[in-house]
């Protein structure tokens, strides 16, 4: 086994399988309360964490809301999409 194969992240996945981020984008139609509520439900943020992410997205246009395996983040993105909350998954290389 090579050194790269031994590298593991906190989810015990090979590094290459967990290098993605889920971004929340600011919009003009969802309320802060709606965004905060769904950040706590979908990505299990605490209320304070959800507030911070919502404020960052509001002020900077986008916010990283979760890091992890691309397939898991894609499933989360689909849940946000059904609620008309704009998120995207970006692969980190």
The owner of tokens 């960052």 is 56
Q: Which pair of structure tokens corresponds to residue 66?
A: 């979760």
Q: Supply the pTM of this predicted model.
A: 0.79
10-residue stretch averages of pLDDT, the chain, 93 residues long:
40 61 96 97 98 97 97 97 98 84
Q: How far apart are CA 45 and CA 35, in angstroms?
A: 11
CATH topology of domain 18-91: Ribosomal Protein L30; Chain: A, (3.30.1390)
């Amino acid at each position: 086994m090579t050194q790269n194969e031994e590298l593991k992240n906190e989810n015990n996945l090979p590094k290459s399988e967990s290098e993605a981020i889920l971004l929340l984008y600011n919009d003009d139609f969802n309320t802060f309360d709606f965004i905060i509520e769904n950040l706590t439900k979908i990505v299990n943020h605490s209320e304070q964490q959800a507030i911070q992410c919502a404020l960052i997205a509001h002020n900077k246009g986008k916010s990283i809301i979760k890091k992890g395996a691309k397939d898991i983040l894609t499933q989360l993105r689909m849940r946000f999409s059904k609620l008309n909350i704009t998120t995207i998954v970006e692969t980190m290389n």
